[in-house]
Chain A
């Protein structure tokens, strides 16, 4: 279903909420991967509030769509989404990173309701997502699998092993995104280990590429709709994003891959996010 303006308006409200939640969770946790959590907000909000066939009251429901956040350090962005969607009480996020909390930097699928695969070590998620999708197909299930990769993560050879397999096994019940925010820990991706020509690489591996503005619900939705209908090859949505999107002093800053927020910075951050949404 093509996305409507009314839907986009609703989703923006949700995204504003999630960005505020990310700021709070970072405060409570003492420090988090806030830059890369913020860059995937639109992707997560769109999936969880428009596309995913899920039941938060039944996190292990057999017929549910699956999500693999291969860039598992995006947990600070993912956990608030799961909370707001009703998988668990939002207040649990106050324990993020605390001793024996189910919430750490990288969400544990055995501890956090709604998480379908435990990730964190980069390069593992796409293989698991391919396996999930193939398992669904073998069992004649109609549920879909969605995978979100980081761009720096695509340095890992294992990502390309999975990419080759997805083409080989024609895994088209899988929709994959890359959070192309151009930054990694030690610097920009194109300085550390260049990925360009990135789209060409995926095409060479037999994938169909859609390059979109990763913060545009419309462009993301159109790409997902296209992916749902494409049966000849797996689809990769290269989502051009801004690391730290929404918080002006973090946007495109290498150093905000990971950080903490004191109350003063948190207030500045909240104001910036409010401004983004015209509040």
Chain B
């Protein structure tokens, strides 16, 4: 059903990160008449408006009523359609959490959720519009697949992949002005498979969303300045998480730091920690994110710097962890 890019990279350069997925969804809509879209007065902000313009009869703006948004999406899915429902992450994961969990996940419906303005990407809007809890909440819903794409092209890949992927899918993105990571779509994106952007043996940085690019930049600087061999993993799928990639990182690098635009409790870091601990293998581990507090107001770039999620912050953290003493292999009985 799904096809590759039908526009050139040149066109993609002209679109904001979020507009890329809107364009892809419109293309998918042309190929698959079952795709419909919904939003709660945020069609323009979430960029699902691109689909709305192309297919006005297949798009439903329900107004500022998120519970109804997801309840209706469930109903549309029950009637045999593939609804893409989009609003801000804070509303998808909290205002309408019960609809997402009970109407959509419990019934295992084909609703694809595009949660935008996640993390602290809505900077100046402040805590009421930030969402540093959604990965934690949403991954606790059985049947849900949780994806945090690194940039606009990856979002487009996720959207394309989720059309035929069975069951509910939650795709979490920012405002759409993030710097691009990928230049082309054909890097082998697959739901559930982490992408190694840089191999390394000293330490692994497991990241999702905007931190992926920052970690990649950091790894280059750390190589040049500190002679460190830093592995960078784009863990775009939080659930089902790529356990194999994590175990490999444990065995081959023995140090892991996770970075996410999310509370340190319950998100990517916690998910990675679960795998490490349950594997019974020794590893130095830390998670970096919003330190269990409500975020400041500010431009997102300033907030990323403040919460050590930018390149400098990541470099600082890596140096800190590398400088720590921890038990080396010989001291561990890590064959379980």
Residues of A within 8 A of B (CB): 62, 66, 109-110, 116-118, 120-121, 123-124, 126-136, 138-139, 141, 157-158, 161-162, 164-165, 168-169
Contact = CB atoms under 8 A, between A and B. Distances in A.
A135 B80 contact: yes
B81 interface: yes
A132 B65 contact: no
Contacts of B108: 110
Contacts of B62: 161, 165, 168
A139 B79 contact: yes
B177 interface: no
B103 interface: yes
Contacts, number: 107
**Most chain B CB atoms below 10 A, which of A132, A168, A169:** A132
B58 interface: yes
A138 B107 contact: no
Given A110-B107, A130-B72, A161-B65, A135 B79 contact: yes
Nearest to B81: A135
B67 A132 contact: no
Nearest to A123: B67
B78 A135 contact: yes
Given A117-B78, A128-B72, A131-B73, A164 B107 contact: no
A199 B117 CA distance: 40
B103 A124 contact: yes
B75 interface: yes
B80 A139 contact: yes
Contacts of A130: 68, 71-72, 75
Contact of B68 (A117, A132, A138, A158): A158
A110 B72 CA distance: 19
Interface residues of B, dominant DSSP: helix
A117 B107 CA distance: 8
A130 B79 CA distance: 11
Interface residues of B, number: 29
Contacts of A133: 75
A169 B76 CA distance: 14
A117 B104 CA distance: 10
Contacts of A109: 107
B79 A131 contact: yes
A127 to B, nearest CB: 2
Interface in B204-221: none
**Most chain A CB atoms below 10 A, which of B36, B70, B78, B106:** B78
Interface of B: 36, 57-58, 60, 62-63, 65, 67-68, 70-81, 83, 98-99, 102-103, 106-108
A255 B276 CA distance: 52
Contacts of A132: 75-76, 78-79
A126 B106 CA distance: 17
Contacts of B36: 135, 138
Contact of A116 (B67, B78, B98): B78
A138 B103 contact: no
B71 A124 contact: yes
Nearest to B36: A138
Contact of B71 (A116, A158, A168, A169): A158
Given A138-B79, A158-B99, 19 more contacts: A66-B79, A110-B108, A117-B74, A118-B102, A127-B68, A127-B71, A127-B74, A128-B103, A130-B71, A130-B72, A131-B72, A134-B75, A135-B75, A136-B79, A158-B67, A161-B62, A161-B71, A162-B72, A164-B63
B102 A121 contact: yes
A99 B81 CA distance: 34
A253 B103 CA distance: 32
A136 B75 CA distance: 10
Given A138-B36, A161-B65, A127 B99 contact: yes
A131 B74 contact: yes
Given A130-B75, A134-B76, A139 B81 contact: yes
A135 B36 CA distance: 9
Nearest to A131: B75
B72 A127 contact: yes
Nearest to A127: B71
